[in-house]
Amino acid sequence: MKKDSRSSHRFDPQVPRFLIFGDADRQEFRLWWENLPENVRERGIFAENRLPADLCTSSVSEYSADVHDPAVSADVHDPTVSADVHDPAVSADVHDPAVSTNVHETPDPDFLVLLRSWSGEFSDSWVLELQKKFPLAPILAVLGSWCEGEARTGTPLAGVHSMLWYDFAAMAPLECFAFEKGWASIWSLPVTVLPEERAIFELKREEKWKLFRNVSSTVPNANTKNSPALRPLRFLIESEDFDQFVFLRDLCLRSDWKGRTAEVFGSWLGKEDGIPGNTDSEAEAVADFLLFDFPDFSEAAVAHFHALKARNPEAVPIAFTEFPRPDEWHFLWKENVQIFPKPFRIADFLFFCLNRLS
């Protein structure tokens, strides 16, 4: 029998495996799932058959968790039975009969993910039982839109890393890459770590990443002897906020692009003292990246964004937005726009741009 080519990749121990609990059919969690790296989605394990059928592939496993909570437990006690499904309308192998749901055949997860639709959906006692069952797996709580103010008005779960769904989506490519390369993930840090310690951790990991990309990246290095002459990278930045424009400009000009210089274009250039630049429309037409800071999602802002995209068809579009709603995220995602919720990590921005260059 011919071996399934997906099997060796699906069980590659280097790619992080998520065991996911919660309602994956909510719009924000569907977007969260679709924005994860493809190799991570292939190894996703959804507890209790909670993955919507239209998002499921034959590479996605299902898992029945033997934890003491009637809302999520599949009560798997017989090793010969893969799952005791309480809903007769749902079959344990409804998505793909070739995918096993036997708890004894499922590898231990690297991370436990709780999709929190509302505050109080998962109890601290249930999380404690989950920690006892998987003592080595960090727990990540992905907060839906109804949990955005939980730190002020709700009760955050104890002992977990909590992050909003759109922040997780922006962080996932770099964190999964770091895990795959055998580096520590920020999600693996103790939940009691101080902000200063997190910053030190990220700085040290940044040094590893710089060394890695300088050695193995396919991006040509302009500093290499006998390397072909490369024109500067061109960033077209559009923001109504002057301070935000200056921040993005400095980020582009001061970052390491493997020896290549950077040029910045934008509507603010030449309007303020000390902000030199070129606003020539011909230069804009060959922009490599279009950085658009959305003040809101009004018709005027969307029309302006579309106009800039039309004038720069070869530029990689990147949107910066505060508290993106699921429909706004979906709108940008359909147009192949990379989204960074504000505030964002500089490392995530650089990781995305360098990957696109390669």
Q: Which of 10-24, 193-207, 255-269 has the lowest mean pLDDT?
A: 10-24
Token pair belonging to 155: 């009760």
- Is 174 in contact with 355 (CB distance < 8 Å)? no
d(CA 278, CA 128): 58
DSSP 55-108: G--TT-EEE----S-TTT------TT-S---S-TT--TTSS-TTS---GGGSPP
Q: What is the pLDDT of residues 73-113, one digit of tens each?
A: 333 334 333 333 334 333 333 333 233 334 445 578 999 99
Q: Give the mean pLDDT of the chain.
A: 76
Give the H or E element holding residue 22: strand 18-22
pTM of the model: 0.75
Domain layout of the chain by residue ranges: 5-189, 233-357
Pick the CATH number of 5-189 from 3.40.50.2300, 3.40.50.300, 3.30.1280.10, 3.40.1280.10: 3.40.50.2300
Average pLDDT over residues 36-56: 71
Looking at residue 267, its pLDDT comes to 79
Q: What angle do CA 208, 210, 215 make, to 5 degrees?
A: 100
Higher pLDDT, 74 or 28: 28
For residue 157 the two structure tokens come to 């779960």
- Smallest CA-to-CA distance from 90 within 76, 74, 109, 104 is with 74
Residue 316: which of 249, 210, 233, 244 has the closest Cα? 233
Q: Measure the CA–CA gap between 53 and 70, rounded to whole angstroms.
A: 23
By the 8 A CB rule, do 267 and 238 touch?
A: yes
The backbone region for 217, taken as left when phi is positive above 0, alpha when psi lies in -120 to 50, beta otherwise, is beta
Q: What's the pLDDT score for residue 19? A: 94
Share of the chain above pLDDT 90, in %: 43
SS3 category, 291: strand
Q: Is the pLDDT of residue 283 over 60?
A: no
CATH architecture, range 233-357: 3-Layer(aba) Sandwich (3.40)
Select the more confidently predicted residue: 84 or 271. Answer: 271
CA distances from 240 to 60, 243, 257 (A): 43, 9, 26
The predicted-structure confidence for 294-342, as pLDDT tens digits, reads as follows 988 899 999 999 999 999 999 999 999 999 999 999 999 999 999 999 9
Q: Of 53, 48, 49, 50, nearest to 24 (Cα)?
A: 50
Bigger pLDDT: 234 vs 62: 234
The dihedrals phi and psi of 264, each to the nearest 5 degrees, come to: -120, 135
From CA 262, how far away is CA 278, in angstroms rounded? 13
- Bridge-based pairing of strands 289-293 and 338-341 is unpaired
Nearest to 143 by CA among 168, 124, 125: 168
pLDDT of 151 > 90? The answer is no
Kindly report the number of other CB atoms within 10 A of residue 327's CB atom.
11
One fold for both 5-189 and 233-357?
yes
Please report the pLDDT score of residue 97 as a whole number: 28
What pLDDT digit, counting tens, does each position of 172-218 carry? 999 999 888 888 788 988 888 888 888 888 888 887 777 776 655 54
Burial environment of residue 14 by CB neighbours within 10 A (0 to 12, 13 to 18, 19 or more): exposed
